[in-house]
Chain A
Amino acid sequence: MSAFRPSSFCLFHDLDSAVQSPPNFAFHSYCKSSYRAAGLAIIRRMTTLDASLPAPPADKRLPGDLAIWVFILAEMLAFAVFFAAYAFARAHDPALFNEYQQTLDRNAGALNTLLLVTGSWFVVRAVQAAHRDAGPAVARNILLGFLCGGGFLVVKVFEYAAKFGAGISLSTNTFYMFYISLTFFHFMHVILGMVILVVLWLQARKGAYTSANAHGLESGAAYWHMVDLLWIILFPLVYVMR
């Protein structure tokens, strides 16, 4: 985000000067000067004179890289469409959805919520440990977060085994089509999140994350929290709400 600050600073600066100009010149000079400001901002960035500009306030900071947040938003949008599709499909046949929802293992779903929430908690503790340069605690908490993810997968595999063992498949009915595809789509995201945690863990063991640079850790952590956030909607929606 800091990339945008120098130009916005310049624009506001020029807006002030435009307001102070005579009225007939105001708009014209504002347009000209804002182009000039944008150009100057680019030149400043290219010549790395940013340091001479006022630093953005330390409390307004997006953790991790901008790219991971764009990716997270795209993923969340895909899940939003999926959640809405489930809810509106249910509106066409609430009786069917209510009947087959009863066959789901709510205890397993709730246990998995606890596992993901706790996994997320360990990973935020890893980020906090990096910020206070508590080296070994970073890797340890990432590993604990990974184990919670592993627990989630084990519970889910047992749940799927029970359903598939009973002869249930995607084509059994609309409810099971949504249940299997929605939870499996999420399942894949848990696996990707765990792959990311392995990469973070290997880096953390080398002492890569410190108070000076925890960007990579923050980016991976944000993805892991997204996996948690999605399940927080998915669990009540598919397992409980009727």
Chain B
Amino acid sequence: MNALHNPAHRAWLILLIATGITWYLGEVGAAGTGAIVAMLAIAFVKGRLVILDFMELRGAPLMWRLLLEGWLILVGSLILLAYWMSLK
């Protein structure tokens, strides 16, 4: 359990599990608004772990955290908007 004190190890474990969940959603043929929101939420959590614990920006100047995390939010929002348009 000591290994989980290292944020990188924790992030890696969560990333593996999250990838498994996305794969499973694909296997069961999850589709529609709920599935899209769930997959985007998982991608956001994963992307944030990479930014904060792999790129090690948790302790970086605020501007750089905002730029990288803002990119995640921007990309996620554009995808959500486009999928919402396709459902209409």
Q: Which residues of A contact B (CB under 8 A)?
A: 1, 59-63, 69, 73, 76-77, 80, 83-84, 87-88, 90-91, 94, 98, 106-107, 110, 113-114, 117-118, 120-121, 123-125, 127-128, 218, 221-222, 225-226, 228-229, 232-233, 235-237, 239-242
User: 10 nearest interchain CB pairs?
Assistant: A87-B82, A110-B23, A121-B12, A240-B26, A91-B86, A94-B86, A91-B85, A84-B78, A117-B15, A124-B8
The answer to whether B22 and A240 touch across the interface, beta carbons within 8 angstroms, is: yes
Interface of A is mostly: helix
Residue of B nearest to A5 (CB): B61
**A44 CB, min distance to chain B CBs, angstroms:** 20
Q: Which residues of A contact B82 (CB under 8 A)?
A: 84, 87-88, 90-91
Known: A118-B12, A120-B50, A121-B9. 5 other contacts (CB 8 A): A84-B78, A110-B22, A124-B56, A236-B42, A241-B35
A-B contact count (CB 8 A): 131
**A109 CB, min distance to chain B CBs, angstroms:** 8
A98 to B4, CA, bound (A): 39
Residue of B nearest to A101 (CB): B26
Contact for B57 among A63, A83, A88, A113, CB less than 8 A = A63
Contact for A127 among B23, B51, B56, CB less than 8 A = B56
* 8 A/B residue pairs, CB under 8 Å, sorted by A: A59-B59, A61-B60, A63-B57, A84-B78, A91-B82, A117-B19, A233-B47, A241-B79
